[in-house]
A and B are shown apart, each in its own frame.
Chain A
Amino acid sequence: MAVRPVVATVQLGQCGNQLGLELHDTLLREAAASGDAAFLRDTQETFFRTTETTSSSQGKLVARAVLVDTEPKVVEGVMETARRSKGWQYDARNAYHQQGGAANNWSFGYKHLGPTVWSNVADMIRREFEAADMVGGVLLLGSLAGGTGSGVGTYVTEMLRSEYRKSLLLNGVVWPYSTGEVIVQNYNVCLSLSHVMQDTDGVIMIENDHIHDICTKLLHINHVTFSSMNSVISQHLANILLPSNRCYATSSSCSNHVKSRERTSRRSFLN
C-alpha cells in the first residue's frame, strides 16, 4: 500500500474552528458516499488518524487538526459537537485557547498573542507530523476580519514556514462581507495578506458575499446561517483537498494542484 502524505489542519479563531469542523465532516462524508473503500481509506489517512484499539475501547477516528482560539467557548463547543455527533473527534491534547480574546486587533494578535500561541501550538503540530509516515503540509483556516484568524494566523504562518521549510503551506482565508462585519476589517485584511503572501504556498480565497449569494441564489436556502455557509465552503475546499488521482501511488492532489497553478509566490491566490 502506498504511503499517503498527511495534511494537518490548524483551525484559528471562531471562523476557522467552525469551518474546520464542517470541513472534516464533509471530507469524510464525501469519501464515504463515493462507495470506493480505497478512496475512503486514503482520505482517512490524509486527514485523520486512528487511535489504538484497547481492551476497553475501540479505535477512534481522530482529526489531524489543531484548534486555536483566544477565547474558550468556540473551541470547547466544536470539540464537544464533534465528539457527540460526528462519528469522529478531535484530540483533546490539540486544543489551545486563551481567555481574553484578540479584540479584532491584528497587531494585538500578531505581536502580543502570537508568540504565546506558537509556543503551545508548535508541539501539537510536531506531534501530528511525528505520528505520520509522510508529511504533506499544513492547511490553516481562519477569517481575515477578526483578530485571532488574521493576527495570530499570520504569526503562525510565519513560524510554520521557518519550521517546515519544505512542506506545503496553504491558507484558507475567509473574506468578510463587504457591507461590514467588523469595522476595522480593512486593516486586518490588508495587514494579514501583506505578511502571509511572503510565506504561504497558496491562499484559498473564500468570500462571504459570494458564498452568501450561492446559498440564496443557487441553492435557494431560505434561512441562510453561518452553518449553511460553512457547508458550502467545505464542499468547495473538499473539491481541491480530496485525493483526486485514482492511481494512489502519486502524491497528494493538493500539492500537485498548487504547484501547477503557481509560478512565483506572488501569484499564489486560489479561488
Chain B
Amino acid sequence: MPRELITLQVGQCGNQIGCKFWDLALHEHAANNAQATFQPSMSTFFRNVDAGGRDVGMPTGTAPIQFLKARALLVDMEQGVLDQVMKGHIGELFDGRQLISDVSGAGNNWARGFCHYGPKYHDTIMEKVRHAVEQCDSLQCFMLIHSLGGGTGSGVGTYVLQHLQDEFPNVYRFVTPVFPSEDDDVVTSPYNSILSLAQLIDHADCVLPLCNDALSEICAKVSTEEDKCRRSFSASAAQKSAGPQEVGKPWERMNMLAAQLLLDLTCSMRFEGPLNVDLNEVTMNMVPYPRMHFLISSLTGSIMNLRDTPAGGQPASHYYLRNMSQLFSDAFSRDYQLITADPKQDLYLASALLLRGDVDMADIRQNLARVQRGLRFVRWNPEGWKVGHCAVPPLNQPRSLLCIANNCCIADTFTELRARFMRLYKYQTSVVERGHAERR
C-alpha cells in the first residue's frame, strides 16, 4: 500500500486551490480505474469508508468503492468558503470533523492569525490532525496549501506548520504558498508574507511557491495557443469533438495549475513507473542545505488543456499537444515558471525532472544533454539532475514534465518582497496592530 499524505488547506486561497485539487484528483483516479474498485494508489489521498465512516479493510484493488473521504483538514476563520465547499460537488469528500472555522476572519492580519486564532484553535486543530494521522498506516507527508498575503492562510497556516514539526518531526512538511502579486489588493500583504516566510524557513521541509502573476500569464498564454489550435481545424470537426466547456474564470484556471502541480509531484507515489520518485527523495536531492528548501517549479504538458471538468480518455484532436523537445524547452523558459523568475539567468543548485506518460529514455537523455548546455550549475554539482518517470499520463495529455529546481533566482523574489515590506514599515503603517511585527 502506498504512503499516505494529509492535506491541510488553510484560508480562502488554500481552500479554493484545495477544492480544485480534489476535483482533479478524483478525475485522475477515475480515468485510471475502470472497475471502480478502491485501488492502492487511491489510498494516498482517500479513505474508503462505509456508511458509518469506518475504514473498509486494506486497499487490495478488488474492494468496491463505498464512500470516499479525503485525507484532509479544511481550516478557515470565516465560514463563507467552507460552506461553499461543503455545498459543492466535492462536499461529500469531507465530513464535519475535518472542518475548523470561525466567524469573523483574521482581517488580513498575520498576527491575528498566528497569535490569536492559532492558539485559540490549537487543541482542536491538533486533535483533528492526530485523528487523521491515526487513520494512516504509513504517513509520509503533510501538504500545506495557503496564501501568504492574507491573515488566516499566512498566520494560522504557519502556526499549524510549527506545531506539526513539534508533534510529528519525522513526517515531511511540504508547503505550497501563494506569494502575493505586486498589485495585490491586500494592503498588508507584504507584512503577512515576510512574517510567514520566516516561519517557512524554520519549519518547512520543502516549499514550492506559486505567484498569481506568473499563473495568470501562463493561463493567458495557454488559452491563446489553444485558440490557435482550435481555429486550425475545420468548423465541423471542432463541433464534433467539442468537450466540456472551457473554464471562464481566471481564478479557476490558476487554481487548476496549482492543483496539477501537486498531482504531478505525487504521481510517482501513487502510480507505477520505470523510475519512481518519492517525496522524501525530492527533499534529499533538491535541498543541499536545510534552510535552502525553496524550489521553483514549472509545468508543461499537463496544463495544456485547462478545462473545468476534464473529459478523460484520449485528448481531442484540437487539444494543444507538445512533443518532448518542446516540453523540455518550455520547462526551462521564463514563461512556464509558476513564480515570476527566470532561472536560466541564474545558478542552479539542483534540478528534478518528473515525467509522466509516454516518454522514452533516449529522448530524455538527448533533451537533457541539449538543455544542460544552456544552464549554469553550481561548481560542486555540475550534473545536478534527479529524473523520475511515472507511466501514467496526466488527464487528456499523452505526456507532461514537471521541473522543480533549486535555483538562486528565488533570491530576487525574496528581495522584492522585502522591498515591499520596508516601504510600508518605513512609515510604520499598520504596525500598531501587529505586536509581533515590532519585535521582529
Contacts from A to B (Cβ < 8 Å):
14, 18, 71-74, 77, 99-101, 103-105, 147, 177-184, 212, 215-216, 222-227, 229
Chain B CB within 10 Å, residue with most, of A14, A103, A105: A103
> Which residue of the partner chain, among A18, A71, A103, A225, contacts B361 with CB atoms under 8 Å?
A225
A179→B274 contact, CB < 8 A? no
A183→B286 contact, CB < 8 A? yes
A105→B284 contact, CB < 8 A? yes
Decide: A74 near B3, CB < 8 A? Known: A100-B140, A105-B284, A179-B385.
no
Q: How far is the CA of A125 from the CA of B137 in the complex (A)?
A: 28
Q: How far is the CA of A18 from the CA of B386 in the complex (A)?
A: 19
A226→B3 contact, CB < 8 A? no
Majority-rule SS of A interface residues: loop
Which chain A positions have C-beta within 8 A of B138?
Answer: 99-100
Which 4 A-B pairs give the minimum distances between C-beta atoms?
A180-B385, A99-B138, A103-B280, A180-B383
Name the distance in Å between B145's Cβ and chain A's nearest Cβ: 23
Of residues 363 through 422 on chain B, the ones whose CB sits less than 8 Å from some CB of chain A are 365, 368-369, 372, 381, 383-387
Which chain B positions have C-beta within 8 A of A147?
Answer: 281, 284
Name the distance in Å between B284's Cβ and chain A's nearest Cβ: 5
Name the distance in Å between B290's Cβ and chain A's nearest Cβ: 14
Is residue B92 within 8 Å, beta carbon to beta carbon, of the partner chain? no
Which chain B positions have C-beta within 8 A of A74?
Answer: 272, 276
B385→A183 contact, CB < 8 A? yes
Closest A residue to B363 using CB positions: A223
Name the distance in Å between B406's Cβ and chain A's nearest Cβ: 10
> Which residue of the partner chain, among B3, B283, B381, B383, contacts A178 with CB atoms under 8 Å?
B383
Is residue B432 within 8 Å, beta carbon to beta carbon, of the partner chain? no
Which chain B positions have C-beta within 8 A of A77?
Answer: 272
B386→A99 contact, CB < 8 A? no
Which chain A positions have C-beta within 8 A of B3?
Answer: 71, 99-101
Please give 4 more A-B residue pairs, beta carbons under 8 A apart, in addition to A100-B140, A183-B386. Answer: A72-B40, A100-B280, A101-B280, A182-B285
Q: List, sorted by A's number, 24 A–B pairs whose CB atoms are closer than 8 Å.
A: A72-B2, A74-B276, A99-B3, A100-B3, A101-B3, A101-B278, A101-B281, A103-B281, A103-B283, A104-B386, A105-B284, A147-B281, A180-B386, A180-B387, A181-B275, A182-B285, A182-B386, A183-B384, A184-B285, A215-B362, A223-B360, A224-B361, A226-B274, A229-B361
Q: How far is the CA of A177 from the CA of B272 in the complex (A)?
A: 21
Name the distance in Å between B155's Cβ and chain A's nearest Cβ: 32
Closest A residue to B361 using CB positions: A224
Give 1 or 0 for each of B1-16: 1 = CB within 8 Å of chain A CB.
Answer: 1110000000000000
Of residues 334 through 374 on chain B, the ones whose CB sits less than 8 Å from some CB of chain A are 350, 360-362, 365, 368-369, 372
Q: How far is the CA of A14 from the CA of B274 in the complex (A)?
A: 8
Which chain B positions have C-beta within 8 A of A226?
Answer: 274-275, 361
Of residues 278 through 298 on chain B, the ones whose CB sits less than 8 Å from some CB of chain A are 278, 280-281, 283-286
Which chain A positions have C-beta within 8 A of B365?
Answer: 177, 179, 212
Name the distance in Å between A262's Cβ and chain B's nearest Cβ: 32
B280→A73 contact, CB < 8 A? no
A104→B284 contact, CB < 8 A? yes
Of residues 1 through 35 on chain B, the ones whose CB sits less than 8 Å from some CB of chain A are 1-3
Q: How far is the CA of A99 from the CA of B3 in the complex (A)?
A: 6
Which chain B positions have C-beta within 8 A of A72?
Answer: 1-2, 40
A14→B276 contact, CB < 8 A? yes
B360→A179 contact, CB < 8 A? no
B387→A181 contact, CB < 8 A? yes
Name the distance in Å between B379's Cβ and chain A's nearest Cβ: 14
Of residues 256 through 281 on chain B, the ones whose CB sits less than 8 Å from some CB of chain A are 272, 274-276, 278, 280-281
Which chain A positions have C-beta within 8 A of B140?
Answer: 100
B276→A73 contact, CB < 8 A? yes
Q: How far is the CA of A100 from the CA of B368 in the complex (A)?
A: 29
Closest B residue to A223 using CB positions: B360
Name the distance in Å between A130's Cβ and chain B's nearest Cβ: 31
Closest A residue to B382 using CB positions: A180
A216→B386 contact, CB < 8 A? no
Q: How far is the CA of A177 from the CA of B364 in the complex (A)?
A: 12
Q: How far is the CA of A182 from the CA of B353 in the complex (A)?
A: 10
Chain B CB within 10 Å, residue with most, of A18, A100, A101: A101
Q: How far is the CA of A222 from the CA of B1 in the complex (A)?
A: 35
A225→B368 contact, CB < 8 A? no
A183→B350 contact, CB < 8 A? yes
Name the distance in Å between B324's Cβ and chain A's nearest Cβ: 11
Which chain B positions have C-beta within 8 A of A104?
Answer: 281, 284-285, 386
Which chain B positions have C-beta within 8 A of A222?
Answer: 362
Name the distance in Å between A169's Cβ and chain B's nearest Cβ: 28
Name the distance in Å between B280's Cβ and chain A's nearest Cβ: 4
Which chain B positions have C-beta within 8 A of A14?
Answer: 275-276
Which chain B positions have C-beta within 8 A of A99?
Answer: 1, 3, 137-138
Which chain A positions have C-beta within 8 A of B362?
Answer: 212, 215-216, 222-224
> Which residue of the partner chain, among B274, B275, B284, contacts A184 with CB atoms under 8 Å?
B284
Q: How far is the CA of A185 from the CA of B387 in the complex (A)?
A: 12
Name the distance in Å between A91's Cβ and chain B's nearest Cβ: 20
